[in-house]
Chain A
Amino acid sequence: MNEVTKMKEISIEELKEKAIQLRKTALTMIYGAQSGHPGGSLSAADIMAALYFKEMNVDPHNPNWEDRDRFVLSKGHVCPIQYSALALRGFVPYETIYTLREYGSPFQGHPDMKKCKGIDISTGSLGQGLSCGVGMAIAGKRDFKDYRVFALVGDGECQEGQIWEAAQTAVKYQLDNLVVFVDNNRLQIDGFCDEIMPLQDLEKKFDAFGFETKRINGHSMEEIVETLDEVKVAKNGRPKCIICDTVKGKGVSFMEDVADWHGVAPNEEQYHQAMEEVAGGLR
């Protein structure tokens, strides 16, 4: 339990350092596997650092602790960034990161709760994870537990209708223990969301559904932490949605805002350049 409390005392600067480590680890995993999803992993890195190293009550030595906060990676393809957090947080041995996407690895191509400690639900098919988070949050309410459920969804993923089925349920059951992050990086596999299928104003959409909605810079650790502090005290019966404006491939110059880096691994030269760039922190 000491580790649980210790993490809460972390400073913004230390969190930024954690985000750098997460980016480096995820890039290393994907480079090693020569397969995986760097773009969305990098856009979500700062949110993941804040969650895993400050916000969430989790215990690496007791991953199934029943009072833990839950995390749902609805955009399951960016699991390298979650695996990095789990490895750096001590859920799984760090040296195993090189097994990403290998036979028998805890680090399956998409999160598998039966194989990797710290994964609360298997995901990978877009649009489905938020419903699972809603189920967990309802159970928390009905059982009078204090745990919270954090879900990370992609903006492109919000094109799936089930996201809105889950959203309306979260509001109906007054799940103020549910926090939805939208990794709003504006890109999907085929190009810009605005061209493939415009999402309009996601902030207004979640707001119209009844969420307490905030919009922040998803790469500003200060804003992320501040917003998490704000939503923590708001036990007002409303689920929370934090629209995080992010950049796909954030931190690596040649990956930023390039749809083609959705699901492609860097070659050796690109990897070294990427590692150098992310080591310098965010511009």
Chain B
Amino acid sequence: MSILEKDLTVKKATREAFGDEIVKLGKENKNIYVIDVDIAKSCKTVNFIKQLPDQHINVGIAEQNAAGLAAGLATTGKIPFVSTYAVFGSLRMLEQIRQEVCYPNLNVKIACSHGGLTPANDGGSHQAIEDMGVLRSVPNMTVIMGADYYSTRKLVEQAAKVYGPVYLRFTRDTVPIIYDENEEFTIGKAKKIKDGSDIAIIANGDTVRLALEATKELEKQGISVKLLDMHTIKPLDREAVVDCLNIGKIITVEDHNILNGLGSAVCEVVAEEGKGTVRRIGVQDQFGQSAPYEKLLELNGITTENIIKTAKELI
């Protein structure tokens, strides 16, 4: 069955995918560690703590320490996953990640729930709109956000198996399950959901669902859409972007500032290739505020309707 025909009413948050996968990985490999910073419940590592206490460390509310501690563990062959919220995992710990994880290129994973605008009613202070961009600019770091439960599980599994620093971002809210359980994903390789010839839509994370809805509608209206899930924004699948340049018209969609995230990464490739047009849909370089998630998306034009409208304007 094509993803386009899939029932999207079955939903699960991708932080659940992390929580489930990390237990499986921890059982398989005793070197997998989880470092919590007092928010194990919301980051879904509670089962890991119960089942694998010897591979767990809780440092309390001390994120900077968590990053350095993870680096120290990694020098002894452990594979630590620091589990926190995206704002803290990318910003509070940033210098520690840069100095002690990325500079010596240690095998540390930063696994972050509450990505993007999803901590909606918590307000702007808790919404991570610049995390992927910030970490994208640190050498040696890989930056990933899966679109649904199953893809996230596969990406977490891969992150544990590739050597080096990886930043993984998850959603707080539930998102539709769009992939089959056995679908394969490769870090750094875009998932082509659908081929098309009139316009290319490149999305990541929970906005893939919006792009999917927009694609269905556009196809109904006779517009042929190529849809990519760009779960890894660094290293970016350059080849997949170049492949869109045959169409030449690209829309990027992300729950992240339009600066320095997926949209910027795609623009870099398009500009370097010297052809093609990009429209970026994402957070409009503004802080969020307390509001329902859907409202915040709407305020930034991160909606199916806006994707459809932008596509029609671009064609």
Contacts and interface: CB of A to CB of B under 8 A. Distances in A.
Interface stretch (A162-170, A197-205, A241-249): A162-170
A131, A133, A137, A173: residue with the most chain B Cβ atoms closer than 10 Å: A131
A227 B303 CA distance: 66
Nearest to A120: B75
A114 B74 CA distance: 14
B71 A121 contact: yes
A162 B65 contact: yes
Interface string B245-273: 00000000000000000000000000000
B38 interface: no
B68 interface: yes
A125 B95 contact: yes
B73 A135 contact: yes
A242 B71 CA distance: 24
B109 to A, nearest CB: 14
Contacts, number: 104
Contacts of B96: 125, 128, 131, 162
A6 interface: no
Contacts of A161: 64
B193 interface: no
Contact of A122 (B64, B70, B76, B103): B103
Interface residues of A, number: 34
Contacts of B68: 128-132, 134-135, 162, 166
B247 to A, nearest CB: 42
A144 B45 CA distance: 25
Interface stretch (B55-63, B125-133, B160-168, B202-210): B55-63
If over half of A's interface residues share one DSSP class (helix, strand or loop), that class is named, otherwise mixed; here it is helix
A202 B96 CA distance: 24
Contact of A135 (B55, B70, B105): B70
Given A112-B104, A169-B69, A132 B54 contact: no
Interface string B67-92: 11111111111101000000000000
A269 to B, nearest CB: 37
Contacts of B78: 139
A162 to B, nearest CB: 5
B198 interface: no
A283 interface: no
B99 A128 contact: yes
A32 interface: no
Contact of B64 (A123, A128, A139, A168): A128
B25 to A, nearest CB: 17
B69 to A, nearest CB: 4
A131 B66 CA distance: 7
A166 B65 contact: yes
Contacts of B105: 114
A70 B60 CA distance: 25
Instruction: Please give me the 5 A-B residue pairs with the lowest Cβ-Cβ distance, nearest first.
Output: A135-B72, A131-B68, A165-B65, A132-B72, A165-B62
